[in-house]
Amino acid sequence: MALLDFEQRSDCARLNRRFGTLRVRTVLAGAFVIAGICSSILLMPGCSSKGKEAPAEVQVQAATVERKTIQARITTQAVLYPRDQAAIVPKISAPIKEFYVNRGSRVHAGELLATLENKDLVGALTESQGTYDQAQAAYDGALQSAGRDLKAAQEQFQAARSLYDARVALYKQGAIADRDVQDAKIALTQASNQYDLTEKRYNLKVAEGQFTAAKGRLASAEAQVDYSKIVSPINGVITDRPFYAGEMPPGGAAILTVMDLSKVVARAYMTPEQAAQVRVGDPASVSPQDGSGELTGKVTVVSPALDPNTTALQVWVEVPNPGGRLKPGSSVGLTIIAKTLSGALVVPAGAVLTASDGTTSVMVIGQDHTARQTVVQTGIREDGEVQIRNGLQPGQRVVNQGAYGLPDGTKVTVAEPPGPSEKAD
């Protein structure tokens, strides 16, 4: 009996503990539900005990719209060429007799550079000179003889004419007979015929033609001798001399090359859009790859037609070459200043936002520290700055850093740009 009472009390204790735990869980669950409902009510508009909080201001960096001088620059690569050059090819085929210059020699236009063997040409010139002298003597003799004979015939004709005129006058006066007039007329006719025969006999065209032909042969022989003397057609420097004295250069081979290196020409290929901005006379500069410093020049040629192989336009820039620093055939950096605008409205490039449709805009900071998106039209870009054609006024402030993704109408706080020490950190 005692054992039964003990077991019943144990079961009752277990039931009490189980139901007690259940009551605790129920109370806690209810407390959590009530807390959740209160939290939801507090988050509803108008239910906060403190009211609505103002949105936080966004910290940005700003720049001022300024008037500056800005330049449109076209930068590309170019290859250097001499301003002028001549590959000298002899006009006659003959062995080289002597050179008077070496590679690197500075020469002037008309200076004798080399001679070719020309003994046969000198002999032909002497023969042509003799033929010319003979033809000239024959022509001069025929001319003198014809002159004398024509002069005598002309004098006889004039005398006969005077006699006839005088007898006609006397006949009219009744001083002479008609027979005397007829005799004078016959004499005049004979003198006239003799004068005509003399003119025909001395036809100088044959002698003149022989003389002209001899003169032409002499000029040709002189030219052949002159061709054996190689002279420089330009001022410059000897850059190539591939043969030696005594050698026979093949036909069409250049025995000397002269380059004018006082100026060089940088030739670059550009797209039609780039070349459309360039004009002859635009200032330009070249930058050698050895870092020796820029040299300035100007545009001299803008090709009017596309290159069929590259579908690009060739632009030439002529640059002085003091001391021969620039070497033809080398590549250089080329910068052309296509346009210069003074007093243009300029903002940093980081302030310009570009939409997917290509529209450009900036975030303008108003007096109330509110950033407003403003559509602008851009122009020239140079060294991290952009020209603004319209949409802004000088003195306005725009968001320079932090504008990307910034909603229109956002309150902003302008932060000071970091100092040199802060950037280093």
CATH number of the domain residue 328 falls in: 2.40.30.170
User: Are 351 and 420 members of one domain?
Assistant: yes
What does DSSP say about strands 410-414 and 58-64: parallel, antiparallel, or unpaired?
A: parallel
pLDDT attached to residue 16: 45
pLDDT attached to residue 299: 96
| Residues contacting residue 332 through CB under 8 Å, at least 6 positions apart | 77, 78, 79, 80, 266, 286, 287, 288, 289, 326
User: Are 220 and 125 members of one domain?
Assistant: yes
Cα–Cα distance between 334 and 325 in angstroms, integer? 16
Boundary (domain end) residue, out of 173, 200, 226:
226
Token pair belonging to 73: 């620059």
- Reference 337, options 284, 383, 382, 298; nearest CA is 284
Q: What are the helix (H) ranges across 85-118?
A: none
E-strand ranges in 89-208 read 96-99, 106-107, 112-116
Q: Are 204 and 142 in contact (CB under 8 A)?
A: yes
pLDDT attached to residue 49: 40
- Reference 149, options 205, 208, 203, 185; nearest CA is 203
User: Are 325 and 354 members of one domain?
Assistant: no
CB neighbours (10 Å) of residue 81?
Answer: 15
User: Are 126 and 202 members of one domain?
Assistant: yes
Task: Assess if residue 52 is contained within a domain.
Answer: no
User: Are 357 and 415 members of one domain?
Assistant: yes
User: Are 222 and 125 members of one domain?
Assistant: yes
Beta bridge partners of 145: none
For position 372, which CATH number holds? Answer: 2.40.420.20
User: Are 137 and 201 members of one domain?
Assistant: yes
CB neighbours (10 Å) of residue 324?
Answer: 11
Boundary (domain end) residue, out of 201, 226, 251:
226
pLDDT attached to residue 38: 38
Q: Are 230 and 116 in contact (CB under 8 A)?
A: yes
Four-residue CA torsion sign, 375, 378, 384, 385 = negative
DSSP codes of every residue in 26-56: HHHHHHHHHHHHHHHHHHSTT--SS-PPPPP
Task: Assess if residue 251 is contained within a domain.
Answer: no
- Reference 208, options 300, 143, 164; nearest CA is 143
Task: Assess if residue 24 is contained within a domain.
Answer: no
> Residue 324's domain spans which residues?
260-340
| Predicted structure pTM score | 0.60
Task: Assess if residue 44 is contained within a domain.
Answer: no
Q: Domains in the chain: how many in total?
A: 3
DSSP codes of every residue in 354-406: E-TTS-EEEEEE-TTSEEEEEEEEEEEEETTEEEEEES--TT-EEEEES-TTP
Task: Assess if residue 194 is contained within a domain.
Answer: yes
Task: Assess if residue 410 is contained within a domain.
Answer: yes
User: Are 369 and 335 members of one domain?
Assistant: no
Cα–Cα distance between 48 and 270 in angstroms, integer? 67
User: Are 329 and 356 members of one domain?
Assistant: no
User: Are 280 and 331 members of one domain?
Assistant: yes
- Reference 349, options 315, 320, 387, 397; nearest CA is 387
| Residues contacting residue 74 through CB under 8 Å, at least 6 positions apart | 270, 274, 277, 278, 335, 336, 338
User: Are 130 and 216 members of one domain?
Assistant: yes
pLDDT in tens, the chain (425 residues): 333 343 444 444 443 444 444 343 433 334 333 334 334 433 344 444 444 444 568 889 999 999 999 988 899 999 999 999 999 999 999 999 999 999 999 999 999 999 999 999 999 999 999 999 988 888 787 777 766 766 777 778 888 888 888 888 888 887 888 887 788 888 888 878 877 776 666 666 777 788 899 999 999 999 999 999 999 999 999 999 999 999 999 989 999 999 999 999 999 999 998 898 899 999 999 999 887 788 999 999 999 888 888 889 999 999 999 888 899 999 999 999 988 889 999 999 999 999 989 899 999 999 999 999 999 999 988 888 999 999 999 999 999 988 888 898 999 998 876 655 555 44
- Reference 142, options 195, 207, 214; nearest CA is 207
Task: Assess if residue 134 is contained within a domain.
Answer: yes
User: Are 336 and 346 members of one domain?
Assistant: no
Task: Assess if residue 125 is contained within a domain.
Answer: yes
The residue with tokens 């139901």 is 19
For position 180, which CATH number holds? Answer: 1.20.120
Q: Are 350 and 331 in contact (CB under 8 A)?
A: no
Boundary (domain end) residue, out of 340, 361, 381:
340
